[in-house]
A and B are shown apart, each in its own frame.
Chain A
Amino acid sequence: MEEDLPYNVQLVTQLEGHDDRAWHVAWNPARPILASCSADKTVRLYNYRSTTDPDTATAPLEFSLNTTIPTGHAKTVRAVAWSPSGKTLATASFDSNIGIWAQDEDDEEGGGPQGEWECMSLLEGHETECKSIAYSSSGTLLASCSRDKTVWVWEVHPDSDFECMGVLMEHTQDVKCVAWHPHEEVRSILASASYDDTIKLYVDDPSEDWFCFTTLTGHTSTVWSLVFSPDGRYLASGSDDLTIRIWERVQEHRWECVSVLEGHDRSIYSVSWSRGKGEGHLGWLASTGGDGLILVWKISAVPTESGRDKLSHKIISRFPAAHGVSDVNSIVWCPRQGMEDVFATAGDDGAVKVWKIAQSST
């Protein structure tokens, strides 16, 4: 059944250790750390390094456990997010709280990133399970969402302090995912996806009140996952309706669905979009879900006569049963320079896996 695809997916390493299903992974944007979280209420941090031989195309990545944070959350840790500086980690838990974690930087302990990860702050407010959490691209805002149907926006203050900037009660059902636009313009755009099948986009008004400026409809079932394209022109959404939709920003505050990607035969739980390697395209979109299948799509913009680009998508790699028979809950590209071809997945089997795509040898 293997088609002749230009890239193949290779397992770099399998990271065991969670005692229950692994929900989510997050790559530290500034330091070589990968974080994973699980229903076992812990966060595991892995260090990695690559052998420094630039000539070898297959420089192996070596992962080692740095530490396990017990978190103290009373229930499942559903999501983790790093601040853009890489110094702070946020955890979203089914116990309805958000934990803010940073390393102790006491001088007497030698300083630097050596100290233990400690809970610096606890953000309360959600009434029920917190499902997703995200830092804005400048790191000044943090968003979270919950089964209580709300999306919260927090402003990050010095000394691990937070100020609530908004409680958005727009969705009629469980909110599954929040994502920030990658470019901080005058205003940052926040997106949320819900069990009510819609996606909502928000900005703040001049008095810093957050409001929903548009609702994207089209999916016919739960929208599980959202990711903006690296250039910020597009938004991709993965849904229980087995499709990925790509929405284009056609005006400042208007987004339209321009592509529907099909290829999965179970719920799509996670999508991730990176720049990818090479030129002349909009990057690589990876998707996974209940069918355990990993798909990697190359997204390109084709100029048309009307002057408006037409989006094209092509599967460049696929890998079935990535976590055996288990569901795969998340897939995340590594954001670090030179590692555009590396991504990690977390599955119901409790495993975290790191993968790499490489050009198929002809």
Chain B
Amino acid sequence: MAFSGALTLTDLNDFITPSQACIKPVEQSNPAPVHDPGAALTQIQVDSTGSYYEVSAVGRTDVDAKKLQTAEISLNDCLACSGCITSAESVLITLQSHTEVLNFLESNPILPAAAHRTPVLSIAPQSLASLAAALSSSSARPVGPAEVLARVRAFAIRVLGFEHVFDTTFARHIALLEHAREFSERRSGKGKEKGVAPLPMLASACPGWVCYAEKTHAEMLPFISAAKSPQQVMGTLVKEWMGAKWGRTPDQIYHVTVMPCYDKKLEASREDFCNDTYATRDVDCVITTGELDLLMREKGWDLSAPIPEELSPPSPSLNPLAIPELLAHPGSSSGSYLHSLIAALVASSQTPLTHTVRTLRNSDYEEHTVMDESGATVFRGARCYGFRNLQNLVRKVGREAGLQVGRGAAGRVGALRRARKAGPESEQEKGYDYVEVMACPGGCVNGGGQLRPMLGQEGAALESLPATEDGLEVQAPSAKWGDRAWTKKVEEAYWGAPPTPPPTPPPEVIGLEEREEEKRRRADRLAVELLYEMCSPGQDPPGDAAWDVHMGERADEMRRRLFRTQYRAVEGEVVGLAVKW
């Protein structure tokens, strides 16, 4: 029976190994002419300049050669494609790279030319930590994120000609506020009639996770927070809020971010973050920590050399908008999404609550429970990092929500079976209310765009290889354990080590030191001010207004547009190999 019936290429796959090809369908913009039956067919020729021509098959290239539009594959096509995730990298690296930044800066006309665009650089705290860890490992004196920010700022302004340099922690502060607001909406069931979304709410700041969910787990999308990530909040702040203050329209600003992660490039190029009116993006170009490092090396900037400014607080002339810098958000080095919700919950509770943490398997999967005095669970959340834990999370959330996690027909059988089996036992454990999901093991400090440990060099990673208890000899000393030790160093640098404050503060200590508290209050206040300026111009915020203030329908609509986004499932059924021959 072997070759009877339709021969499916897919079923031959056991023998051939085609690489994951791009399956972007080429749209035909020049409609094919209707031709008579029997008329000569056409063929396509490529001329010496690489242009494509449609010519008649008889070979008369001189007449009727019609130039065809070149098929172009943009980053958005890659995002919309269910095929590869990895090969998108090569596309995005060329579209958003440090050379791209240099090219822009070189070609940017000098003021007062009308075409001049204001270059702005925003750097993520995890990127600062990565640079700080690299510097500390090769110098006698540890270097902290504040010094690194001062030095990067000096480099970007003096050497590259950037006009403004920020870190993204204030944008993250706003992202966290909006996140908390959305969470309380979901929890109270508000907006349910509009189809707003169930619990658990899942973090949305990791573009790797969002991209993966859109491609392979569409059933997870309603759970993912609609709040923008810190990068995209920063984009909105720079292009809309700061731009208005500087008298610049969004297209007159060129916004570069430095991120610990390649997938942030994908995030920045999502259509939701494009401004159609001005034909510009909220973030024009994303470079990774590694690319920033390369840029500094290429320009001969020595980041290890102290500069005078780093000893004093940043001068007000550099920060006229008084944006709080390096705001610490205690909890996790990936943005503290979970902790900020728990902190808000504890702070707003009338009765004392206790917060307990349980580590499952490894430090990348923690369960957090908040209980009231009677021992009843008020909140259950988790911190879940890495691809492997992500798999288990998707299974768990799907199961608890009674969703069919899956596409195959066998899945339906299983779902039925499970529904029948689910007894009272499954009601014992309260499902999660919130999960801080990140695709990288170790979270953002271990992002793909971070600096890598210098193996063997200056003992950065090798010396911290753990000797396992049974004397296991790892043949290829690895990359992996080296990385783990290195990630720990970046984590320490992130929290401003040494000495190391515990990354996860003991539950009872959710108070911060005085200065941080003050900075935070300033950030809260500024956040509300800009919220009113942007959403309800002309109206002053009431003195006691907090971020979750209700401003009226129109203003709230505006707020949604500015600080939230949306996700769409990428149809995965266009498998190029499922062709019937």
Task: Please indicate whether A and B come from the same complex rather than being unrelated chains.
Answer: yes
Please report A residues at the B interface, Cβ cutoff 8 Å: 18-21, 39, 71-76, 78, 93-95, 97, 99-100, 118-122, 124-125, 127-129, 131, 147, 159, 162-167, 173-174, 176, 186, 195, 203, 205-209, 211-215, 251-254, 326, 348-350
For the complex, give the distance between the alpha carbons of A208 and B469 in Å.
Answer: 14
Are the CB atoms of B17 and A72 closer together than 8 Å? no
- The contact sample of 9 A-B pairs, CB cut-off 8 A, is A39-B11, A74-B409, A99-B414, A119-B411, A119-B414, A167-B388, A209-B480, A252-B472, A326-B2
Give per-residue flags for B458-470: 1 if the beta carbon is below 8 A from chain A beta carbons, else 0. Answer: 0000000000111
Please report B residues at the A interface, Cβ cutoff 8 Å: 1-2, 4-5, 10-11, 13-14, 17, 216, 361-362, 387-389, 391-392, 395, 405-414, 417-418, 421, 468-470, 472-476, 478, 480-481
Are the CB atoms of A72 and B362 closer together than 8 Å? no
For the complex, give the distance between the alpha carbons of A306 and B466 in Å.
Answer: 35
Are the CB atoms of B361 and A174 closer together than 8 Å? no
CB-CB under 8 A for A129 and B1, given A72-B409, A166-B388: no
For the complex, give the distance between the alpha carbons of A215 and B475 in Å.
Answer: 9
Are the CB atoms of B391 and A125 closer together than 8 Å? yes
Are the CB atoms of A20 and B1 closer together than 8 Å? yes
Partner of B408, one of A20, A78, A97: A97
Are the CB atoms of B417 and A119 closer together than 8 Å? yes
CB-CB under 8 A for A350 and B14, given A122-B411, A163-B392, A186-B470: no
For the complex, give the distance between the alpha carbons of A72 and B481 in Å.
Answer: 42
B residues near A120, Cβ cutoff 8 Å: 414, 417-418
| New contact pairs (19) apart from A95-B408, A97-B408, A211-B480, CB-CB < 8 Å | A20-B2, A20-B4, A20-B5, A72-B412, A74-B408, A99-B410, A119-B410, A120-B414, A122-B405, A122-B406, A122-B410, A127-B216, A147-B13, A173-B17, A207-B362, A209-B362, A213-B475, A252-B472, A253-B472
Are the CB atoms of A75 and B470 closer together than 8 Å? no
For the complex, give the distance between the alpha carbons of A215 and B470 in Å.
Answer: 21
Chain A residue with the shortest CB-CB distance to B473: A253
Are the CB atoms of B413 and A72 closer together than 8 Å? yes
Chain B residue with the shortest CB-CB distance to A348: B2
Chain A residue with the shortest CB-CB distance to B421: A159
Are the CB atoms of B410 and A73 closer together than 8 Å? yes
Q: Which 4 A-B pairs have the closest CB atoms?
A: A72-B409, A72-B410, A164-B391, A119-B413
Are the CB atoms of A122 and B392 closer together than 8 Å? no
CB-CB under 8 A for A350 and B2, given A195-B17, A213-B475: yes
Q: Nearest Cβ distance between residue B123 and chain A, in whole angstroms?
A: 30
**Which of A76, A131, A209, A251 has the largest number of chain B CB atoms within 10 A?**
A209
For the complex, give the distance between the alpha carbons of A279 and B250 in Å.
Answer: 83
Q: Nearest Cβ distance between residue A173 and chain B, in whole angstroms?
A: 6
Are the CB atoms of A124 and B388 closer together than 8 Å? no
Q: Nearest Cβ distance between residue A116 and chain B, in whole angstroms?
A: 11
Partner of B392, one of A76, A164, A211: A164
For the complex, give the distance between the alpha carbons of A129 and B16 in Å.
Answer: 12
Are the CB atoms of B406 and A21 closer together than 8 Å? no
Partner of A97, one of B11, B388, B411, B468: B411
B residues near A129, Cβ cutoff 8 Å: 10, 13-14
CB-CB under 8 A for A71 and B406, given A167-B387, A174-B17, A209-B362: no
For the complex, give the distance between the alpha carbons of A97 and B413 in Å.
Answer: 14
Are the CB atoms of A208 and B362 closer together than 8 Å? yes
B residues near A254, Cβ cutoff 8 Å: 475
Are the CB atoms of B469 and A206 closer together than 8 Å? yes
CB-CB under 8 A for A350 and B410, given A94-B11, A147-B17, A166-B388: no
Are the CB atoms of A124 and B13 closer together than 8 Å? no
For the complex, give the distance between the alpha carbons of A172 and B188 in Å.
Answer: 49
Chain A residue with the shortest CB-CB distance to B362: A207
A residues near B391, Cβ cutoff 8 Å: 125, 164, 167
Chain B residue with the shortest CB-CB distance to A207: B362
For the complex, give the distance between the alpha carbons of A76 and B5 in Å.
Answer: 14
For the complex, give the distance between the alpha carbons of A78 and B14 in Å.
Answer: 9
Q: Nearest Cβ distance between residue B255 and chain A, in whole angstroms?
A: 34
Are the CB atoms of A122 and B2 closer together than 8 Å? no
A residues near B4, Cβ cutoff 8 Å: 20
Are the CB atoms of A350 and B1 closer together than 8 Å? yes
A residues near B392, Cβ cutoff 8 Å: 163-164
For the complex, give the distance between the alpha carbons of A115 and B211 in Å.
Answer: 42
Chain A residue with the shortest CB-CB distance to B415: A122
Chain A residue with the shortest CB-CB distance to B8: A75
A residues near B389, Cβ cutoff 8 Å: 164
CB-CB under 8 A for A118 and B2, given A207-B362, A213-B474: no
Chain B residue with the shortest CB-CB distance to A211: B480
For the complex, give the distance between the alpha carbons of A125 and B212 in Å.
Answer: 11
B residues near A213, Cβ cutoff 8 Å: 472, 474-475
CB-CB under 8 A for A76 and B411, given A124-B405, A124-B406: no
A residues near B476, Cβ cutoff 8 Å: 212
